[in-house]
Every structure is written in C-alpha cells, then in structure tokens.
Amino acid sequence: MMKSRGLAKFLSVIVLAIIVAYVAFYGVNAGNYSIKPVQDSIRLGLDLKGGVYVLEQAQGNVSQDAMTRAISIIRNRVDALGVSQPLIVQQGPNRIRIEIPGVNDPDQVISYLGQTAQLKFIGPDGKVILTGADVKDSKAVYQTDQTGVQEPVVTLDLNSKGAKAFADATAKFVGKQIAIVLDDKTISAPVVQEQIPDGKAVINGMKDFDEAKNLANLIRGGALPVTLKQVEYSSVGATLGPSALKASEEAGMYGLLIVLLFMIAFYRLPGLIADIALGIYILINFIVYALLHVTLDLPGIAGMLLSIGMAVDANIIIFERMKEEMRAGKSIRASLDAGFRKAFVAVFDSNITTLIAAFVLFFMGAGTVKGFALTLIIGVISSMFTAITVSRFLLKSIVETEFTKNIRVYGA
Amino acid sequence: MRWNNIKWNIDVIGKTKVWFTISGIIILAGLIALFTIGLNWGLDFTGGTVIEFNMHKPVTIAVNNEITNILKSNGVKDSQVKAIGPNNTHVSITTPSLDDKTRTAVINAIESKYKLTVKDLVSSQNVSASIGKEMQFGTILASAVAALLMLIYIGFRFNFEMGAAAVLALIHDILIMISAYALLRIVVDTPFVAAILTVFGYSINDTIVIFDRIRDNIKLMRKASYKEIANVSVNETMTRSINTVMTVLLMLSLMYFFGPASIKDFALPLLIGITSGAYSSIFIASPLWVIFKDKEGKNSVGNKVGNRPQKA
C-alpha cells in the first residue's frame, strides 16, 4: 500500500512537471483561451539582439508636464521608425531612457531623436497655415455633444498670430481637412466644420480619452519642446548581439550538463532527484521571467547561471548531512528527515545573505546590474522551494517505495 | 573509501600561520599594485566614448596611426586606438566623451577611408562625465548599504566572536578581489559592483554553513577544545565546501571560456572572489574564531586556553 502510494506520488510530480513544461514552452490554444510560449514573453536585452540605447537629459529646469510631452513626442518618432518593442521610459526627474532594438545605424537614430519637434498645420492646398510656435495650449477634456453624450475631445488654444491665420484658413476650408503634422507624420486630420475666429478650436472624433490625451500631448509638445541632450548611449551591432546570445546559451548548456552528471555521479539516487528538482527550478524561473516580463540581458543570464550553482548548493548541504546520518547507522528514512531538518537553518541563512546583496543591487544598482540582481533574486527564492520542498517530497516518495535498503544507492 | 565518501582530516587550525601568510602575500601584492599603477577604471565610471569597428583585416600599426590622425583632424587629441578581437581584425577607439556631431564625423571619416558600412560598426558607447560621477557615488552608496545590512544580519544570527570572524573573512575576500582587479588589470565597470556584492553574499553564506556546524558541535563535543571543535567542523563540512565551490566555479569558468567578451570581465572577478570566499570561510574565518575564543578564555576567570567551552 505504502509502496505503490510512494511511486504514485513520485510519478505524479514528474507528469505534472512535464505537462507544465509542455504548456510553458509550446503554449496552448483552446478556444478563445490561449497561453503564449514563455520564450515569446521574455524580452531579450539589447546586448543580445543588437540595437541602440540612449539616455537623454532635459536641459534646465523642466516640469513633469514638459517631460510627459517630450516622451510622447519621442514615442511618436520611434513609432515612425517602425521597429518592434521599443522602450521609452522616464528615469529620474529629467531623463528619458530609450531602447530601440534591431536598429542598424545608431547615429541616425540619435540625431533623429534629438531634433526639436516640428509641428505644422497644413491646409488641403499643401500650404503651412501655422506652426507649433503658434500653439499656446492643447488639452484633452470631456465635452457633451448635442445628444448629451460625453465624448473626449482635444482643445486647441492659439496665440493671436495663430488665431488670425487659423480664422482665415478655416473660413477658406470649411468641409475640408486640415492636417496636423508632427515631424512629417500626420497625427490628426480633422475636418473643418465652421470658421474658427478666436483661435479656440476643438478636435473631436477621438476613440477614447487616451487617444485624446496622446494627441494633446503631441500638439503641446510641438508648442513647447524641451531641449534634450544625450548623456549616455550604447549601440550593439546586429551581429554582435545574437552571437553573444549563442555563446551564453552554449556556456549555460554545457555547465548545466556537467552539474547534472556530477550530482548523479556523486550522490546517486538523491543526485538524480536533485537533477529533477533543478529541471523544475529552471522551468519555474522561465515562467516567472515571462510573468514579470523580465528583460533578459547578458548580466541577467549571468545571474541565472550563478543561481543554478547556488540551487545545487542547497541540495549538496542536505545530502551531505543525510550521508553523515546514514554512516552513523540511522535508517534511510530517519537520515532523510534528519538531513533536511538539520540542513535547513544553514540553507536558509545562506540564501538570506545572498538575497540581501541582490536586493540592494536591484534597488540601488545601475541599469545593467539590475538585470543580474533580478534573475538572482528569482533564482534564489525559487531554488529554496525546489531544493528543499520539491526534492524532499520526491525523495520521501521514493523512500516510501522501499525498493532498496542499500545506502550506497543514496551515495553513502 | 570511495571517491564520493572521503573522510577529511586536515589540521586546518594547526596551520593557521600558513593560511594567513598566503593571503597576506596576495593582498600585499594587490595593495602595492593598487597604490602604484591603480585600478583600470572603465567607461561607466570615468565617462568617455568607445567605438569598435570590424576592419576585416589585421589592424597594423600604420592603420592605428591613420585612425589616430583621423581623430586629431576632427579635434580629438586624447585617444587610445587598440587592435582587438579575432586575429586583431577589430579596432577599439577610446576617447573622452564626444558630442554627437564629433562622433558622427569620426565614424563617417573612418567608414569612408576603409570602405566600411554601418554593419561594420560592431558597437559604440558613450557615457558623459557627469553620469560617470553619479555612478561612482551610487556604487559606493550601494556597497555601504549592502555591507551594513549584512552586518546587521550577522549580528542578529551570530554571537560576537563568530560575527567578527565572519566580517574579517569578508574584508579579506574584498581585498583579494580588489587585488585581482589591480593585478590582472580587469576593467572596473558596473559589473564590479555586482561582483563585489555577490561575493559578499556568497562568502558569508559559506562561513555560515561552517559556523552552523561549529554551533552544533559545541553542544556535542563537551570536552573538546575550540581548536578541536573548529577542526572537526571544518572537516565535516569539507566535502560540501568543495562540491559547492566546484559547481559554482564550473558555471563561472564556462561563462568565462565560452561566454561573450562582455561576460568575461564579469565572470573572472566572480571566479576569484568566490574561490576566495570558500577559502576564507575554512582557512581564515574558522581559525580567527578559535583565536577570538581562546583570547576570551584567557581573560575570563577559570577558563584556560583550549579548555572546554562554556557557551557558543
């Protein structure tokens, strides 16, 4: 009874792990419910796929509002490049971090990003009616239309010179479109419904408030651009990145293989269990990377490989304890319990110190170090689970089957 | 006795002087290097521009001079041009932080002179001097915070003698690492912080495993001296110490030998630091604990050196 139950427990964990692994790496599509393969959800760092990273700093005293507008403009420009997965985020009070993967010519991108925004209103005759300099303000607000429905709109407030030009143009082009062009890209083309004499216009027909807000940001940005200066940048060529990825994948695979073989050779059956736990550990890591949308860069891979070494350490501490207990004459089952119990404090304490270092790095370190810290944190936490809980459960199940009393099978 | 069941019996504590001398020599050599030639500071801390081209042919001294002249004609007087990569076919150009216009001009001049395209621009990087200053400050701050937090943890987990021994072993590892950076001319860049802090965590981790065993053995070996307890504990945990350091070192050496260039500068100091961490837990921290305990024994009434311990 006990024997078959042990085997059933053992096999159920293995089967469950295989199913999870299959779903994680191949994804599922069941009706309208689908899970993407983890490798599609993990973003690769620029150092692994090539691309440009730029840190721009706004000059002088800038408000948060000006920063938000500047980011909108940059996003608009980056989108115009047609690259996939660009990253544009604010860093600190006056810096913008831009990551553009797969770009070949870094300097072209940098000069393009650094340009002062050019906003123009162009009539159907192709003539410029007014420029961003004439725009005093632009906001996204809710307005109630004739039927009483609230709709998001963008307001325009022009200076006196702009108001006059706009009054003339809107008188001329009633029923026609005026294009609002930013950096040669049309961002909106509203139809003139009536003459606008006072320089206060409203653009409606927005899909939602976000669209209105974005357009207002772009129009205001054109009116009040901040001066951005590149303070840091790096570019990795399209060939260097993938070759770096391949090299680190190879290093990881060979290392893992040797560690797996070593554990079996040294610890026999428990070693095999530790290997299974390590497999589950790697699976958990990739799933967590996908769920947290971790950007995996080279330091991140280093952190992951290092944490594999540390995951194995927990099992080594436990198994050495077990062997000592067995050699002292205890039964296999008693040795297993004592080994895990006595080793727990050491494993826990040692992982905590690594976590302290990793957390400090994550919160205080610079960009490149953060990736390392994050994979190390994920690795250390998940290794505590797999090296202690999973491997104990598997080992206990195997011991319950009582298939051997030879302690040599347990490496002692 | 089979290979995976070796019973260790090394008189670690008896040879304390030997271990201290070995470490002393390495640290001394490192400190001399540190104060004479200094550290090899990288771009992240000093600020500057690095451009790497694939020239598709070995970079000769003539080419090297030509590039230096191109830089000079663009107003860049201070530069370092180095042949690197496979068969020295790549060229690495290091200058103080260049503005976008100068950098573009330099890159275009080199591309047209050697008939290169943008594809041959392997990588380029620029860090302004102000960012470099920020990095230096941030690094010192992060290291200080991490050290403080770990000290609090040690103080919380260990008694005074163990805590002091663990901290001294930690300082030993950091000194060994800085020596390695100075002697092997490893570039001190952002990975430096990560490497130092990782070794911090790892070294304490290793010491904890041995001290944990010492705590257990103090209860079991009531008649033994501190020296005996430390020796037995170190030997009992020896297989674990070796196996763990071997697996971690294996991962790191593969990163070093097979990994891409940017990982090498990260793997090497970790390799040295983690070896030092494993070594210091056994050969520095444990003997120090015995020394502290024996000192305490001398001072307290009725407890002679090497006498049975009263408490951990």
Joined together, the tokens standing for residue A42 give: 């993990």
pLDDT score, position B141: 86
pLDDT in tens, A5-41: 888 889 999 999 999 999 888 888 777 777 888 888 8
pLDDT in tens, B111-130: 999 998 888 888 888 888 88
Q: Please check whether residue B108 is in contact with residue B73, taking contact to mean a CB–CB distance below 8 angstroms.
A: no
A386/A69 Cα distance (integer angstroms): 47
Q: Which of A313, A355, A380 to mutate to test the interface with B (most CBs of B within 10 A)?
A: A313
B173/A391 Cα distance (integer angstroms): 32
A242 pLDDT higher than 60 = yes
Helices and strands, counts by H and E, chain B: 11, 6
Q: Does A369 touch chain B (CB under 8 A)?
A: yes
CA distance to partner chain B, nearest, from residue A180 (Å): 30
pLDDT (mean) for A152-171: 89
Chain B residues inside the 8 Å CB shell of A309: 244, 247-248, 250-252
B143 pLDDT higher than 90 = no
The interface pTM score, or ipTM, of the predicted complex is 0.82
A244 pLDDT higher than 80 = yes
Instruction: Beginning with the edge strand found earlier in the chain, give each strand of the sheet holding A185-188 in spatial order.
Output: A128-131, A119-122, A179-182, A185-188
Q: Please check whether residue B80 is in contact with residue A87, taking contact to mean a CB–CB distance below 8 angstroms.
A: no
Contacts of B127 (CB under 8 A, 6+ apart): A231, A232, B43, B44, B46, B47, B48, B49, B97, B135
pLDDT score, position A123: 87
Q: Does B49 touch chain A (CB under 8 A)?
A: no
pLDDT (mean) for A387-392: 90
Confidence of residue B304 (pLDDT cuts 50, 70, 90): very low
Determine the residue type at A2: M
B239/A317 Cα distance (integer angstroms): 9
pLDDT score, position A222: 63
B307 pLDDT higher than 60 = no
pLDDT in tens, B15-59: 999 999 999 999 999 999 999 998 988 888 888 999 999 999 888
Residue A140's beta-bridge partner residues? A154
DSSP secondary structure string for all residues of A290-351: HHTT-EE-HHHHHHHHHHHHHHHHHHHHHHHHHHHHHHTT--HHHHHHHHHHHHHHHHHHHH
% of chain A with per-residue pLDDT over 70: 96
B33/B178 Cα distance (integer angstroms): 10
pLDDT (mean) for A385-392: 90
Q: Does A102 touch chain B (CB under 8 A)?
A: no
Q: Which of A363, A357, A322 is nearest to A343 (CA)?
A: A322
Q: Pick the range with the lowest mean pLDDT from A109-113, B239-243, B255-259, B273-277.
A: A109-113
Helix (H, G, I), strand (E, B) or coil at A30: strand
pLDDT in tens, A122-147: 888 888 888 877 888 888 888 887 78
Helices B100-113 and A106-114 pack at an angle, to 10 degrees, of 150
Q: Does A238 touch chain B (CB under 8 A)?
A: yes
pLDDT score, position A211: 85
pLDDT score, position A39: 82
pLDDT in tens, B170-191: 889 989 999 999 999 888 887 7
pLDDT score, position A32: 74
Q: Pick the range with the lowest mean pLDDT from A250-259, B146-155, B270-279, B303-312.
A: B303-312
The conformation of residue B59, written as its DSSP 8-state character, comes to: -
pLDDT score, position A181: 86
Chain A residues inside the 8 Å CB shell of B204: 350, 353
Chain B residues inside the 8 Å CB shell of A111: 100, 104
A260 pLDDT higher than 90 = yes
CB contact residues (below 8 A), chain B span 220-279, against chain A: 236-237, 239-240, 243-244, 246-248, 250-252, 254-255, 257-263, 266-267, 270
B52/A8 Cα distance (integer angstroms): 58
B295 pLDDT higher than 90 = no
Instruction: Beginning with the edge strand found earlier in the chain, give each strand of the sheet holding A200-203 in spatial order.
Output: A135-144, A150-158, A200-203
pLDDT in tens, A324-371: 999 888 998 999 999 999 889 888 887 888 888 889 888 887 766 788
pLDDT (mean) for A43-48: 84
pLDDT in tens, B218-229: 999 988 999 999
Q: Which of B133, B61, B126, B46 is nearest to B91 (CA)?
A: B61
Q: Does B285 touch chain A (CB under 8 A)?
A: no
Q: Which of A59, A268, A323, A369 to mutate to test the interface with B (most CBs of B within 10 A)?
A: A369
CA distance to partner chain B, nearest, from residue A398 (Å): 22
Contacts of A164 (CB under 8 A, 6+ apart): A199
A305/A111 Cα distance (integer angstroms): 38
B298 pLDDT higher than 70 = no
Contacts of A87 (CB under 8 A, 6+ apart): A97, A98, A99, A100
Confidence of residue A105 (pLDDT cuts 50, 70, 90): confident
**Contact at CB, B194 and A105, closer than 8 angstroms:** no
Looking at chain A, which residue has its C-alpha nearest residue B205? Answer: A350
pLDDT (mean) for A379-405: 89
Q: Which of A339, A284, A306, A239 is nearest to B120 (CA)?
A: A239
